[in-house]
């Protein structure tokens, strides 16, 4: 069997961090099994779906390196849904229901008031043809429900949650089509999974009850069901479900300077027993991906952890990986010198300004004579490796060492108390600029 997974976003907005995690895990599992990863655009909602969001979804996946092996659009498959719906209708597995939203709401409230689960009472199944004709004559169009088989327990072995068991008698027959003819999520998704030969459905645990009903839909269509993996949902750093997570998307992370490798490294292992590591290469993440390592506890997403991971990723990036994002004039030596002090690639511009100047420094009075001496020594040293030459000569001449030796030089040369290794930075500043800065100080 070829492993085929799918990521199925609705283009009614941009991807948020929870969507991204789902897409990543589908992609990783397919890649690890030499399978295929498909993108299915769930755009059956013609009013809310927008092409700009379709393009944004594709762009976000591309930025992350999650390139689909194929794409389907639900809006191009309405004829297929009609055909399979007609089969279910002929088999008596879907039926029309004429209750209004207000009537259904009242039924639910009555049941809840009696301490009973708000399960649909299947009153529509008792309607005679004359009753249906009367509703139609009054202009009341039906919505359509899938009739669950109450004679068989619904069971499956979930790849994350283990054995699952649902009694269909405790479940409402789900609405699969609205009165205006538009489709809800459940049935088109099953039809697509059958036609796309999806072998594994990886999604959040909020879909567990959907899976219970969809398993009966697969059976009603005469198709084998895929394997299911329902992952624990993400929580915020505060340890509870956070609405903020629904607003954190690729644009937000890119604006913060987050590298795609950092986002992947974090989301790949959130919720698993494996440690989060700053892995630039995705191959080890794919190789270690295993649903058996996922727990059922909510997975905690912490932006501070992501920022720290991002810095560790940046420290590993080679010049060729970032050259298009570096300031003009910065070459491999500049990147290598500055990289250890960066949290994001964008910060390289700040440090390159330190190299090119001008810089301003506030020098204590007691260090000015020392820096004047440094300027004189700097003019006569060998500039093939100037920092140890300069500091060695100054130490011998003044007896200074440690902070008293190095800090005034760093302040005068960079305008800052902390920063990249001066042995790497001073050759980039150059003799002429260094002499000018020491002289000014």
- Please, what is the angle between helix 260-269 and helix 303-314, to 10°? 130
pLDDT at position 242 is 62
Binding-site annotation, residues: 243
Token pair for 20: 């991204």
pLDDT score, position 243: 64
Give, in words, the CATH class of 90-152+164-177.
Answer: alpha beta
Q: In the 8-state DSSP scheme, what is residue 128?
A: -
Residue 313 main-chain phi, psi, to 5 deg: -70, -45
Q: What is the mean pLDDT of each run of 10 residues along the chain (441 residues)?
A: 95 93 97 98 91 96 97 97 98 96 94 93 95 94 97 96 97 96 96 98 96 98 98 80 75 95 97 94 96 92 95 97 96 96 97 94 93 95 94 95 95 94 95 94 86
Order of strands across the sheet that contains 94-97: 94-97, 143-146, 175-177
Domain ranges of the chain: 90-152+164-177, 319-356, 365-440
- Give CA–CA dist 292/162, Å, rounded: 10
Angle at 260 between CA 269 and CA 246, to 5 degrees: 70
Q: What are the residue ranges of helices labelled H in 347-385?
A: 348-356, 368-380
CATH of 365-440, one of 2.60.120.260, 3.40.50.2300, 2.40.50.140, 1.10.10.350: 1.10.10.350
Element housing 256 (H / E) = none
List binding-site positions for ATP. 243
pLDDT computed for residue 299 by the predictor: 87
CB neighbour burial string for 25-58, b if at least 16 within 10 angstroms, e if fewer:
bbbbbbbbbebbbbbbbbbbbeeebeeebbebbb
pLDDT, mean over the chain: 95
Tell me the per-residue pLDDT of 42-83, one tens digit each, with 9 for 90 and over: 999 888 999 999 999 999 999 999 999 999 999 999 999 999
Q: In 3D, which of 218, 226, 150 has the Cα closest to residue 187?
A: 218
Query: Which neighbouring-strand residues pair with 228?
Result: 201
């Amino acid at each position: 069997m070829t492993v085929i997974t799918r990521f199925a976003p609705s283009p009614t907005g941009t991807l948020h961090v929870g969507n991204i995690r789902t897409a990543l895990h589908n992609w990783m599992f397919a890649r690890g099994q030499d399978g295929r990863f498909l993108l299915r655009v769930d755009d059956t909602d013609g009013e809310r779906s927008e092409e700009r969001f379709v393009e944004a979804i594709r762009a976000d996946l591309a930025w992350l390196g999650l390139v689909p092996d194929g794409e389907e659009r639900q809006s191009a498959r309405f004829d297929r849904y009609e055909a399979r719906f007609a089969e279910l209708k002929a088999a008596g597995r879907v039926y029309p229901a004429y209750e209004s939203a207000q009537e259904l709401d009242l039924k639910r409230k009555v049941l809840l008031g009696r301490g009973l689960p708000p399960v649909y009472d299947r009153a529509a199944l008792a309607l005679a043809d004359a009753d249906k004709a009367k509703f139609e004559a009054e202009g009341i169009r039906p919505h359509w429900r899938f009739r669950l088989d109450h004679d068989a327990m619904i069971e499956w072995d979930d790849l994350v949650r283990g054995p699952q068991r649902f009694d269909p008698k405790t479940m409402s027959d789900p609405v699969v089509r609205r009165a205006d003819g538009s489709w809800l999520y459940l049935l088109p998704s099953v039809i697509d999974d059958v036609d796309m030969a999806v072998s594994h459905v990886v999604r959040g645990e909020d879909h567990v009850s959907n899976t219970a009903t969809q398993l009966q839909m697969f059976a009603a269509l005469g198709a084998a069901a895929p394997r299911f993996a329902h992952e624990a949902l993400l929580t915020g750093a505060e340890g509870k479900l956070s609405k903020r997570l629904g607003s954190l998307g690729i644009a937000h992370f890119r604006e913060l300077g987050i590298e795609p490798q950092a986002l992947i490294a974090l989301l790949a292992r959130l919720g698993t027993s494996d440690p989060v590591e700053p892995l630039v290469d995705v191959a080890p993440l794919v190789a270690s991906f295993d649903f058996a390592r996922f727990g059922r506890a909510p997975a905690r997403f912490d932006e501070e952890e992501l920022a720290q991971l991002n810095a560790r990723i940046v420290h590993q990036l080679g010049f060729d990986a970032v050259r298009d994002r570096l300031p003009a004039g910065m070459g491999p030596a500049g990147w290598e010198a500055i990289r250890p002090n960066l949290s994001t690639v964008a910060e390289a511009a700040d440090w390159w300004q330190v190299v090119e100047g001008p810089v301003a420094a506030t020098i204590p009075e007691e260090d000015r004579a020392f820096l004047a001496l440094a300027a004189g020594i700097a003019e006569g040293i060998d500039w093939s490796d100037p920092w140890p030459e300069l500091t060695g000569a100054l130490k011998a001449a003044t007896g200074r060492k440690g902070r008293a030796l190095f800090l005034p030089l760093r302040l005068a040369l960079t305008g800052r108390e902390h920063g990249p290794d001066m042995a790497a930075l001073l050759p980039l500043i150059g003799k002429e600029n260094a002499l000018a800065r020491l002289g000014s100080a």
